[in-house]
A = this chain, B = another copy of it.
């Protein structure tokens, strides 16, 4: 099924994801990806027709990942707080590498993206939102979590705290992200 390197496609996606999270979608080129992987830009075009296709594939990856995570969380006996901490973890990692989340990055470049990407990113957000919402609702029902807004609104508050938290941390420092993270968990615990 493959010749020379069987997982160049995955490598391109990995680098593309890194670039989007570190520089932003409109600030890197196929030549940049190629350089990183010691190949020519045409090789990148071989695997992904254009930048749009690369971004679409990346979002698809995220959708798969979060669909899997959502299922895992549903059948898990971990506490609601534990589930939320598992959700927050990746943001903390991003912060460590001076990167921001894909959703925040794409949201910033939103008006330069083709319709196909806009639709797909929207469904990714609904997926993630739904997952957080459900975890929150469940935790509240069990008396484990405490908040007065609807689960949807509370999920929005958490998502925005995290997304902009990693963005802000780039400028004003990681300590600010850590404060946000800590406050978030504390507030939910009651």
Residues of A within 8 A of B (CB): 22-24, 26-27, 98, 100, 103-112, 118, 121-122, 125-126, 129, 148-149, 152-154, 156-157, 159-165, 167-168, 170-172, 176, 179-180, 183, 186-187
Is the pair A160, B164 in contact by a Cβ cutoff of 8 Å?
yes
CB contacts (< 8 Å) of A176 on chain B: these are 156
Contacts of A27 in B (CB 8 A): 26, 109, 111-112
Interface SS of chain A: helix
Contact partner of A160 (CB less than 8 A), chosen from B23, B153, B165, is B165
- Residues B172 and A122 in contact, CB atoms below 8 Å apart: yes
- CB contacts (< 8 Å) of A23 on chain B: these are 109, 111-112
Identify the interface centre among A98, A108, A109, A167: most chain B CB within 10 Å of its CB.
A108
On chain B, the residues within 8 Å of A156 by CB distance are 165, 168, 176, 179-180, 183
